[in-house]
């Protein structure tokens, strides 16, 4: 049985780390960027395990559930409801896309990543989205 990936090929964790690391001043050294990036890695792993086409086994569901639990536990360390709100919308939008039979593209999650970055940076969403898009390009180029 062939497993088809239904989450972005690019690592959300690496994209977020790249974008957060590029922030000026203290925001660029803000530990919250690392915590959010770690949670995004778990979130992507959970999505991948739950929704990979052809991989809906009991083991895959357990792996996905465990990864989601790690994502929630990780983001909860920040004690910031705005992070949880954005992550909830990411899950809802991603699951909706998959229920329509589509894969989740990095473009679908780009605004969410920008919102998360904006919470850390204090920048407007437009500037944060520019940073996320640049980081996506950097991570994709590094992987080639």
Q: Which of 20-24, 68-72, 97-101, 121-125 has the highest mean pLDDT?
A: 121-125
Interval 46-105: pLDDT, tens: 887 777 655 567 777 788 788 888 888 898 888 889 998 898 888 889 888 877 878 888
Which distant-in-sequence residues (6+ apart) come within 8 Å of 138 by Cβ? 18
What's the whole-model pTM score? 0.87
Rounded distance between C-alpha atoms, residue 125 and residue 116, angstroms? 9
């Amino acid at each position: 049985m062939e497993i088809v990936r239904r989450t972005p090929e690019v690592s959300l964790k690496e994209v977020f780390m790249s974008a957060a690391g590029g922030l000026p001043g203290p925001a660029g050294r803000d530990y919250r960027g690392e915590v959010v990036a770690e949670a995004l890695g778990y979130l992507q792993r959970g999505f991948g395990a739950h929704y990979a086409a052809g991989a809906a086994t009991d083991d895959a569901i357990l792996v996905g559930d465990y990864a989601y639990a790690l994502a929630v536990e990780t983001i909860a360390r920040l004690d910031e409801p705005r992070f949880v709100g954005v992550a909830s919308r990411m899950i809802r939008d991603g699951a909706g896309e998959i229920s329509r039979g589509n894969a989740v593209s990095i473009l679908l999650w780009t605004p969410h990543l920008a919102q998360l970055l904006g919470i850390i940076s204090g920048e407007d969403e437009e500037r944060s989205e520019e940073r996320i898009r640049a980081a996506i390009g950097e991570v994709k180029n590094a992987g080639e």
